[in-house]
Amino acid sequence: MEQSSNFIRTIIKQDLETGKRDHVITRFPPEPNGYLHIGHAKSIVINFGLADDFGGKTNLRFDDTNPLKEDQEYVDSIKEDVSWLGYEWDELHYASNYFDEMYDRAVLLINKGLAYVDDLSADEIREYRGTLTEPGKESPHRSRSAEENLDLFERMKKGEFADGSKVLRAKIDMASPNLNLRDPVLYRVSHATHHNTGDTWCIYPMYDFAHPLEDAIEGVTHSLCTTEFEDHRPLYEWVVRECEMDMQPQQIEFGRLNITNTVMSKRKLKQLVDEQHVDGWDDPRLPTISGMRRRGFTAEAIREFVKETGVSKGSGVVDSAMLDHFVREDLKLKAPRTMGVLRPLKLVITNYPEGEMEWLDAEINPENPEMGTRQIPFSREIYIEQEDFMEEPPKKYFRLFPGNEVRLKHAYFVKCEDFIKDEDGNVVEIHCTYDPRTKSGSDFNERKVKGTIHWVDATHAVPAEFRLYEPLILDSEEEDEEKTFLDYVNEKSLETLNGFIEPNLQNIDAQEKLQFFRHGYFNVDPKHSKPGKPVFNRIVSLKSSFRL
RNA sequence: UGGGCUAUAGCCAAGCGGUAAGGCAACGGACUUUGACUCCGUCAUGCGAAGGUUCGAAUCCUUCUAGCCCAGCCA
């Protein structure tokens, strides 16, 4: 596929052409404090994709500098998700493996008079920082001697001070219009057990100090991140320069991915999970990689979607219809096409001999003949879709109604002769006659029908559960300061139906994807599907220009 | 009201002084044993606005407007 140009690709290309760089190394640096979502997938596709395009390499690096929030469980799931998305990292690293070197660099800063130990409390530091429009003021501890700072910092490391009692700060400029440069905290005391280093450390580096060092240590040439870090770039460069690292990685920022009718922040996703609006991090309605995988989205579709939405610095919102498009596109030739009735209505073919049945040949995917054919049973009683019959049809309704004839996919023409209602007035059974001459595959062409409907033979039908999803977040009209995203949670985002499928699907494997004729693409739910009683998640419906 | 960033169609997005790519959506039409797919066609005299420079401006300059991000010992 033709690679569309984007500003980062242009920069890298130039760097290579001008000789600024002679190779490319990128990295995907997640913090193992939660599950990956499709926003991370964008970062993954960009980092791995770009490096690959230029013959470079990409590392997976866990940015594990805050033991309070991180856990091995997350590093495992992140690795799984990156692999599932189809990428192989060159080197696997942990920021925590660099703690010794980071400590040494901090000592260097102290010796250069560029860092100091501060005794101010968190609240005081905030007050001293000033505001967006007013400069901050210097801490009374700012002018401690290097010797004193060295001593204090070493004692911080040894565990002599309580959490929050002391921090190491960079000495930059308390009056900078960029708040990140107002003597940012470099190290904090935290007597916490780290998932990787255990209790070796009780001081941990902050992101702004750690990240540039990690990149420089690994020789990352292009450090790609999202736009909210733009303000941090001067600090990033300050750290690499003043810590006298051998090479200077270049930080480049791109806009986050947003998609309509969903939420992308870890905080909001966590809230949806914690408050049980959804059923866990892998709920098929969530944009988490695990949720999308369970819903049935393919890695290929996610990758293509991300590529097509592009890379820019803008903060736009991509229409979820584009995501839908790429799954349909990917599954079109791969997924078997079969018949499933989600809302069953019995249909009796009155002129089909009782007790008889036949096996019909049916192609598995007419757009991909190599997938072959299957046999499906047919007899006097079948199930059709409730919405495929109307007692009083509107104009341009091509399906069944009294006197109308339709084609049963892979079978015969049937004509509606009668129907039965229950006491409540609901249609419960349709009576039709069929024309044996119209069998699928025959050359019958004496008359045509406008509609073709799907069905499942009643005596062989296998019960199945279907789960249909709607957007988790409803459209919000005008902005309302009073409301939060929780006010727009769609409480009807999941609809569960019980219907029937063809018998050959009875023991279908988890994560198998298929198209139910005229409905859409479905995935076999890995958690709740069982042999003999499959559960299907609708990934996406088919497009439809039909409107009642 | 300090700093950083962004404005190209309903949405995403190319374009980098030579006369507005592409994708999604939408809308016509053809085909159709999926109201699907496929195919054909339509969809910015216009690039946030107003000035200016130039033979020529989405691209350069000026001013304005709107939106996003920043005051964690989170990343």
pLDDT above 70: percentage of residues in chain A: 98
Separation of CA A513 and C1' B23 in angstroms? 25
Average pLDDT of the residues in A330-350? 98
Residue A344: what pLDDT? Answer: 98
Classify the phi-psi angles of A372: left when phi > 0, otherwise alpha if psi is within -120 to 50, otherwise beta: left
Separation of CA A126 and C1' B72 in angstroms? 9
What would the pLDDT profile of A124-170 be if each residue is shown by its tens digit? 999 999 999 999 999 999 999 999 999 999 999 999 999 999 999 99
Residue numbers 450-479 of A with CB closer than 7 A to any atom of strand B: 451-452
Q: What angle do CA A480, A37, A197 make, to 5 degrees?
A: 120
Separation of CA A326 and C1' B23 in angstroms? 10
In whole angstroms, what is the distance from residue A263 CA to residue A484 CA? 12
The answer to whether the beta carbon of residue A307 comes closer than 7 angstroms to any atom of strand B is no
Helix and strand totals (H; E) in chain A: 12, 25
ipTM value > 0.95: yes
3-state secondary structure of A476: coil
Nucleotide nearest to A62 (CA to C1'): B75
CATH superfamily, with its number, for domain A7-95+212-318:
HUPs (3.40.50.620)
User: Of 3.90.800.10, 3.30.70.20, 3.40.50.2300, 3.60.110.10, which CATH number belongs to A99-206?
Assistant: 3.90.800.10
Nucleotide nearest to A119 (CA to C1'): B73
- Residue A253, pLDDT > 70, answer yes
Question: Which pair of structure tokens corresponds to residue A258?
Answer: 């947003």
The third-level CATH classification (topology) of the domain covering A344-457 is Ribosomal Protein L25; Chain P (2.40.240)
In whole angstroms, what is the distance from residue A146 CA to residue A58 CA? 39
- Residue A1, pLDDT > 50, answer no
Q: Delimit the domains of chain A by residue range.
A: 7-95+212-318, 99-206, 344-457, 462-541
Residue numbers 99-138 of A with CB closer than 7 A to any atom of strand B: 120-122, 125-126, 129, 131-133
Residue A270: what pLDDT? Answer: 93
In whole angstroms, what is the distance from residue A67 CA to residue A98 CA? 15
CB-contacted nucleotides of strand B (7 Å): 1-8, 10-16, 21-27, 33-38, 67-75
Active site residues of A: 31, 256, 266
What would the pLDDT profile of A32-56 be if each residue is shown by its tens digit? 999 999 999 999 999 999 999 999 9
Average pLDDT of the residues in A488-515? 96
Task: For nucleotide B2, give the residue with the nearest CA to its C1'.
Answer: A133
Residue type, A465: E
| DSSP letter (8 states) at residue A474 | P
Residue numbers 473-532 of A with CB closer than 7 A to any atom of strand B: 515, 517-518
Query: Is residue A38 annotated as involved in ligand binding?
Result: yes
Residue A547: what pLDDT? Answer: 76
What would the pLDDT profile of A185-237 be if each residue is shown by its tens digit? 999 999 999 999 999 999 999 999 999 999 999 999 999 999 999 999 999 99
The answer to whether the beta carbon of residue A167 comes closer than 7 angstroms to any atom of strand B is yes
- Report the Cα A38 to chain-centroid distance in Å: 3
A462-541 and A344-457 share a CATH fold: yes
Separation of CA A467 and C1' B40 in angstroms? 37
Domain range A462-541, CATH architecture:
Beta Barrel (2.40)
Question: Which pair of structure tokens corresponds to residue A433?
Answer: 């006659």
Query: Is residue A77 annotated as involved in ligand binding?
Result: no
In whole angstroms, what is the distance from residue A252 CA to residue A535 CA? 44
Closest CA to A410 of A342, A358, A345: A358
Tell me which residue has tokens 């040949």: A361
| DSSP letter (8 states) at residue A5 | P
The answer to whether the beta carbon of residue A61 comes closer than 7 angstroms to any atom of strand B is no
Please check whether residue A40 is in contact with residue A79, taking contact to mean a CB–CB distance below 8 angstroms. no
Closest CA to A398 of A410, A387, A412: A387
